[in-house]
Amino acid sequence: MDPGLGTTGWGVIRVTARGPVYAGSGRIRTDSKQPIGRRLTKIFETLQQTVDEYHVTTGAVESGFVGRGALSALQLGQARAAAILALEMKGISVRDLSPREIKLAVTGRGSAAKAQVSYMVGRILGLEFEGGEEDISDALAAALCRALHDAPKARVAR
């Protein structure tokens, strides 16, 4: 997930013997004119529906960059909490991943630009992203990063 109070991106992949496969993705947009509680509820409920629809078993959330001020940091934290709780309350563990960690896993460079992340996510999953879909490609990148982190554990468990 790539959480944000205005827009939260989500992406679901399946990990197969041949590698990761795209399952679905989308955006949760909230109306800035609505009360904060209603906006957070929309994020929470939509993600819970997504978990049920796609039979999600693990989660990943981007920790986010908070360099734009106190209000932005607070709103990001609130959106992250709603997103994490939506999965945790369904019994799904959520891994918190830094943007650098995600970029490194997907592109091989921790300082990669958003365009590079989108490009590599597209190459890995066979997708093409249009401009303005960074929230979706970032969410899918987080899912790919989580899958890469979990892969060694899965091999050991077999």
**Banded pLDDT at 157 (limits 50, 70, 90):** very low
- Return the active site residues: 2, 62, 135
Q: Which residue range is the domain that position 139 belongs to?
A: 7-157
Residue 1 lies in a domain: no
CATH number of the domain enclosing 36: 3.30.420.10
Query: Is the distance from CB of 75 to CB of 85 less than 8 angstroms?
Result: no
Residue 152 lies in a domain: yes
Residue 2 lies in a domain: no
Residue 112 lies in a domain: yes
3-state SS, one letter per residue, for 89-157: CCCCEEEEECHHHHHHHHHCCCCCCHHHHHHHHHHHHCCCCCCCCHHHHHHHHHHHHHHHHHHHHHHHH
d(CA 144, CA 117): 11
Q: What percent of the chain shows pLDDT beyond 90?
A: 84
The phi, psi pair for 30, rounded to 5°, reads -115, 150
Give which of 91, 90, 89, 114 is closest to 103, Cα–Cα: 114
Q: What is the dihedral of CA 22, 54, 46, 117, to 10 degrees?
A: -20
Residue 55 lies in a domain: yes
Query: Taking the CA of residue 104 as centre, how many other CA atoms within 13 Å lie in the half-sphere pointing to its CB?
Result: 7
Residue 91 lies in a domain: yes
The string of pLDDT tens digits covering residues 86-142 is 999 999 999 999 999 999 999 999 999 999 999 999 999 999 988 789 999 999 999
User: For 62-81, what is the mean pLDDT?
Assistant: 85
Q: Is 115 or 69 the better-scoring residue by pLDDT?
A: 115
pTM over 0.85: yes
Total structural domains within the chain: 1
